[in-house]
C-alpha cells in the first residue's frame, strides 16, 4: 500500500491514483507510521465532512493536527486556533471573525485589485517569468500583512519565514539555529526555527502597537478582551503566526496552481471571458482542483465508528482534503476542470464545515476571483516553460517555482 505520509508521493502534485484507491476501499484504511504508530486515512467526501463537524468526537487539541504526536508542553507552546477545541477555540475565533465575514472583506477589494495589477504589470514587463515570485507569493502576503499592520518593507521577510515553516514539514529542514533560535525544535510549530523568527517579529510589533495603536488586526488583538481576559503573549504570537501562514500560504498555493490551470484549460477560462457570471465558480474550481492543504488530522476522544470502521479512543484520524475533493460519489467527472461546476455540494478545500471551517475563506476567494478577472481582462495566454517545482511536503500542495511565458 502507498504511504500517504511520504512527502515524495506529492513531488508532482496530488497523487490521484493513490487517493482513488483509498476511496475505493471499504471503510477506512490504516496507514502505518512505524511499528507502533499510524493513522486512519479518511478519503471520501462524506467521511471528511462527518469528522469536520464533530469536534467532540474528533479533537484538534488532543495529540496534534499533523501526523505525528507532540508532547503536551509542545502542544501548549504551539497552540493557536486550529490546534484547539471549543470553548477555547470559540473564544479566540471570536476576536477576529468579524474582520473576515463575506461582507466585511469586500472593503478590501480596491487594495487587493491594486496589488494584483501591480504584480501583473511586472509579469507583462518581462513577458513572463517565475509566476510564484512575481504573482502568487506577493499578493496574498501583501493582503494579510496589510490587515495585520506589517509594514510593506517587511513583506518579503514574512514570505521567507512562511516558506521556511513549510520546509519544516518536508525533508529539507533549516538549521536549528536559524533566525537566532535557541528553542528546542519540538516546542516550535512545524519543528521549524522560522517559527521563532515569526514569534520574535510578532512580539516586537505587538509591543509597538501597545504604545502606538493603529487601525489593524495586531492592535485589535493586543487590546481586545474576551470574557474580561486579554490574550496572553503566547496566544498572541501564535495567533500572529497562524494569520501569516494560513492567511498567505494556502492562497499563494491556489494562485500558483492557477497559472497551471490557465495553461492547461484555456477553453474553460474562455467560458469565463464570454460569461463573467462564471467568475466565482471558476475561482472555486481552482481551489477544489488545487486543494492547497492536503490534510488535517484529528484524534478520536472516544471509541467510535466511521465509515463502518471501528476507531479506538486515542487513534489518529486524518482527513485527506485532496482526496475528498475528487470523490466520484460527489463530483461528476472529478478530474475534469469545469468552471461551471455547481457550487453544491461544496468542496472541502477550506474544510468540511464545522467550527474549524477556514476563517479566511471569503478573503481567499475574493483575492483569487480578482486575480482571474484581471488576467482575463488582459486577454493573456499563459505557456509553461517547464514543469512546476513542487514544495517537498505532505501537508501543503504548494509550488516553489513556475516559469511562464505570455503569448
pLDDT at 189: 84
pLDDT at 71: 83
pLDDT at 98: 83
- Cα 39 to Cα 63, 65, 335, 387: the distances in Å are 12, 12, 27, 32
pLDDT at 252: 95
C-alpha cell at 271: 467560458
pLDDT at 167: 61
| Calculated CA dihedral for residues 201, 215, 240, 99, nearest 10 degrees | -160
CA dist., res. 149 & res. 179, Å (int): 22
CA dist., res. 386 & res. 403, Å (int): 6
Residue 1 lies in a domain: no
**pLDDT tens track for 22-56:** 999 999 999 999 889 999 999 999 999 999 999 99
Residue 309 phi, psi dihedral angles, 5° rounding: -105, 135
pLDDT at 173: 67
pLDDT at 239: 87
pLDDT at 392: 87
Bridge pairing between strands 295-300 and 58-59: antiparallel
Residue 371 lies in a domain: yes
Residue 2 lies in a domain: no
C-alpha cell at 196: 521563532
Angle, CA 345 vertex, CA 341 and CA 347 arms, to 5°: 75
pLDDT at 168: 52
Residue 38 lies in a domain: yes
- Whether 189 and 241 have beta carbons less than 8 Å apart is answered as yes
Residue 187 CB partners (closer than 8 Å, separation 6+): 73, 74, 77, 78
CA dist., res. 239 & res. 237, Å (int): 5
Residue 67 lies in a domain: yes
**pLDDT tens track for 284-337:** 999 999 999 999 999 999 999 999 999 999 999 999 999 999 999 999 999 999
CA dist., res. 81 & res. 83, Å (int): 5
Mean pLDDT by 10 residues, the chain (407 residues): 94 97 98 94 98 97 88 80 89 85 92 97 97 96 94 92 70 79 87 92 95 93 80 87 86 97 98 98 98 97 98 98 98 98 95 94 96 96 96 93 96
pLDDT at 172: 58
Q: How many domains does the chain have?
A: 1
C-alpha cell at 17: 491514483
pLDDT at 274: 97
C-alpha cell at 203: 512580539
Is residue 130 within a helix (H) or strand (E), and if so which, with residue range? strand 128-130
- Find the helix packing angle between 279-290 and 266-274, rounded to 10°: 160
Domain assignment of residue 168, given as a range: 7-378+385-406
Q: What is the domain-level CATH number for residue 320?
A: 1.10.630.10
Straight-line distance from the first to the last Cα atom of the chain, in angstroms, rounded to the nearest whole number: 43
pLDDT at 75: 79
Strand locations in 185-246 (E): none
For residue 393, give the 3-state DSSP assignment.
coil
Amino acid at each position: 500500500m502507498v504511504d500517504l505520509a511520504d512527502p515524495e508521493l506529492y513531488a508532482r502534485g496530488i497523487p490521484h491514483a493513490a487517493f482513488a484507491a483509498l476511496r475505493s476501499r471499504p471503510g477506512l484504511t490504516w496507514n502505518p507510521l512505524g511499528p507502533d504508530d499510524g493513522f486512519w486515512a479518511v478519503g471520501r467526501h462524506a467521511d471528511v465532512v462527518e469528522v469536520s463537524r464533530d469536534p467532540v468526537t474528533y479533537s484538534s487539541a488532543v495529540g496534534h493536527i499533523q501526523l505525528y504526536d507532540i508532547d503536551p508542553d509542545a502542544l501548549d507552546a504551539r497552540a493557536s486556533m486550529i490546534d484547539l477545541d471549543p470553548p477555547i477555540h470559540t473564544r479566540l475565533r471570536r476576536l477576529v471573525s468579524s474582520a473576515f465575514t463575506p461582507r466585511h472583506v469586500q472593503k478590501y477589494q480596491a487594495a487587493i485589485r491594486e496589488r494584483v495589477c501591480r504584480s501583473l504589470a511586472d509579469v507583462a514587463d518581462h513577458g513572463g517569468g517565475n509566476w510564484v515570485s512575481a504573482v502568487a507569493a506577493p499578493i496574498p502576503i501583501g493582503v494579510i500583512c496589510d490587515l495585520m499592520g506589517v509594514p510593506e518593507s517587511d513583506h518579503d521577510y514574512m514570505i521567507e519565514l512562511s516558506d521556511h515553516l513549510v520546509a519544516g514539514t518536508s525533508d529539507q529542514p533549516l538549521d536549528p539555529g536559524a533566525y537566532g533560535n535557541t528553542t528546542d525544535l519540538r516546542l516550535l510549530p512545524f519543528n521549524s526555527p522560522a517559527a521563532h523568527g515569526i514569534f520574535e517579529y510578532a512580539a516586537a510589533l505587538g509591543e509597538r502597537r501597545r504604545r502606538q495603536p493603529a487601525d489593524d488586526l495586531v492592535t485589535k488583538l493586543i487590546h481586545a478582551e474576551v470574557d474580561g481576559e486579554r490574550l496572553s503573549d503566547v496566544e498572541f504570537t501564535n495567533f500572529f503566526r497562524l494569520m501569516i501562514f494560513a492567511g498567505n500560504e494556502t492562497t499563494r498555493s491556489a494562485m500558483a496552481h492557477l497559472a497551471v490551470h490557465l495553461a492547461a484549460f484555456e477553453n474553460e477560462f474562455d467560458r469565463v471571458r464570454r460569461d463573467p457570471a462564471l467568475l466565482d465558480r471558476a475561482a472555486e474550481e481552482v481551489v477544489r482542483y488545487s486543494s492547497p492543504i492536503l490534510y488535517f488530522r484529528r484524534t478520536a476522544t472516544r471509541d467510535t465508528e466511521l465509515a463502518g470502521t471501528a476507531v479506538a479512543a486515542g487513534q489518529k484520524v486524518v482527513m485527506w482534503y485532496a482526496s475528498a475533493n475528487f470523490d466520484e460519489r460527489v463530483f461528476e467527472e472529478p478530474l475534469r476542470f469545469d468552471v461551471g461546476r455547481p457550487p453544491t455540494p461544496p468542496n472541502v478545500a477550506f474544510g468540511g464545515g464545522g467550527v474549524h471551517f477556514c476563517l479566511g475563506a471569503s478573503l481567499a476567494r475574493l483575492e483569487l476571483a480578482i486575480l482571474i478577472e484581471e488576467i482575463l481582462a488582459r486577454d493573456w495566454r499563459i505557456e509553461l516553460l517547464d514543469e512546476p517545482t513542487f514544495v517537498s511536503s505532505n501537508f501543503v500542495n504548494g509550488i516553489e517555482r513556475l516559469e511562464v511565458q505570455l503569448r
